[in-house]
């Protein structure tokens, strides 16, 4: 079950819907099908009006992050500034939606905003391998939000598979440990004690017979 969207995120995302509706006459539906409409809208945003651009980045970032969260699951982590908001997927993959939007407008990575996909240290090597194995795409596709969603889907699936394999290996290790413990315990089973007692009684009987035999020989003499 998805966590509830933070009110500030929902407010900003709804503003993005209103801006696109006003500019293009198309209703965004919080799904991947209408994401190309947002990409088209971002291509029309002038980059020479810093205040307007900052508002577009914040609101469109909230909208895109919410599309990803609804599509792949996860949660929001909010910082003091909208540019610091992050979406964390169930696999630990996380990103700054505002950074993605700013890069989509500029068609380039920006120094003051994070536009990278990252993950917890343990999973970073698998994330980097998955990204390295992806095919080449055009600059427009790379920086588009549609392209970012495709990339997130791919690496998320890869890390889901990696996590499942890790759990499977851990379960096998636990099973091997249980077998070893059970094998050591076999020697302490009640049946083993009974056999030892029987052998002890047989030894005692043998000693008694030897004693009787010795006594009989003395009597003959």
Reply yes or no on domain 7-167 having CATH 2.40.128. Answer: no
**pLDDT tens-digit readout, 9-32:** 999 999 999 999 999 999 999 999
Distances (CA, A) of 113 to 31, 42, 95, 124, 161: 25, 17, 11, 20, 30
pLDDT score at 31: 95
Contact call for residues 93 and 127 (beta carbons, < 8 A): yes
> Which residues, other chains included, contact 170 with Cβ-Cβ below 8 Å and sequence gap of 6+?
none
Contact call for residues 160 and 153 (beta carbons, < 8 A): no
pLDDT score at 190: 39
Q: Quote the CA–CA distance of 155 and 120 in Å, as a whole number.
A: 13
- The mean pLDDT values, 10 residues at a time, for the chain of 221 residues are 89 97 96 96 90 95 98 94 95 97 94 94 96 93 97 97 89 62 45 43 47 37 27
pLDDT score at 208: 46
Q: Quote the CA–CA distance of 37 and 58 in Å, as a whole number.
A: 17
* Two structure tokens written together for 31: 């799904």
Q: Quote the CA–CA distance of 29 and 126 in Å, as a whole number.
A: 33
pLDDT score at 214: 40
The structural domains of the chain, with segments of one domain joined by +, span 7-167
For the sheet with 94-95, list strands across it. Answer: 75-77, 86-88, 94-95
Contact call for residues 71 and 149 (beta carbons, < 8 A): yes
């Amino acid at each position: 079950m998805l966590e509830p969207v933070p009110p500030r995120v929902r407010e900003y995302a709804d503003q993005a819907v209103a801006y696109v509706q006003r500019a293009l006459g198309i209703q965004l539906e919080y799904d991947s099908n209408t994401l190309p409409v947002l990409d088209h809208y971002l291509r029309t945003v002038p980059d020479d009006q810093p205040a307007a651009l900052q508002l577009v980045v914040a609101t469109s970032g909230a909208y895109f992050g919410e599309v990803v969260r609804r599509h792949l699951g996860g949660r929001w982590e909010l910082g003091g500034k909208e540019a610091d908001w992050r979406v964390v997927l169930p696999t630990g993959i996380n990103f700054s939606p505002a950074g993605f939007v700013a890069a989509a407008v500029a068609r380039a990575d920006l120094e003051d905003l994070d536009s990278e996909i990252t993950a917890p240290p343990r999973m970073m090597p698998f994330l980097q391998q998955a990204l390295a194995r992806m095919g080449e795409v055009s600059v427009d596709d790379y920086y588009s939000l549609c392209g970012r969603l495709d990339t997130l889907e791919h690496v998320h699936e890869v890390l889901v598979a990696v996590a499942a394999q890790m759990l499977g290996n851990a379960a096998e290790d636990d099973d091997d440990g249980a077998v070893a413990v059970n094998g050591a315990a076999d020697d302490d089973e009640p049946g083993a004690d009974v056999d030892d007692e029987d052998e002890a009684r047989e030894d005692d009987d043998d000693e008694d017979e030897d004693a009787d035999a010795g006594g009989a020989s003395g009597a003959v003499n």
